Amino acid sequence: MASVYDFTAETIAGAARPLSDYRGQAMLIVNTASKCGFTPQYEGLEALHEMYAGRGLAVLGFPCNQFGAQEPGDAAEIATFCSLTYDVGFPMFAKIEVNGENTHPLYRYLKHEAKGVLGTERIKWNFTKFLVDRTGKVVARFAPTAKPESLRPAIEKLL
């Protein structure tokens, strides 16, 4: 696979969505959870979406229940939570796995392209963020502790 555009993911509504739909846009891809200490980052992610969508940034959320079972709900519960609690307007996708045997192919690619601390590929926790440029190349990986607003300089460089 040459870029993230070669992957398809299921939306939270259950439809297949090729990431090639985002061709020409920068992307911030985040594994999310509704019951995590980092869950308030939805607010910052939505702020980035509102600030930069018109300039070509797509924020994409991928719920994951692999860390402390902090995303136990089904798609409808997750969508309702995101909408009612954080007024999320950016695209949300179906719950996936980001580590292990059943890692979603997109995340297998992201982790390979932007390794973590000491060259590890494993996602450490919810709200790990991957920044992708307008050509579909993964350019940065940010830890769960990185607040969305701290990514603005890196995002600005891509826009």
146: its two tokens: 């990185």
The b/e string for 69-97 (b: 16+ C-beta within 10 A; e otherwise) is ebbebebeebbebbeeebebebbbbbbbb
- Residue 138's SS3 state is strand
The total number of residues shown for the chain amounts to 159
Q: What are phi and psi of 139, to 5 degrees?
A: -110, -20
Q: How far is CA 94 from the centre of its chain?
A: 11
Helix (H) / strand (E) element for 114: namely none
Catalytic residue from among 4, 9, 30, 36? 36
Catalytic-residue membership of 64: no
Which residues make beta-bridge pairs with 28?
59, 131
Residues that are catalytic: 36
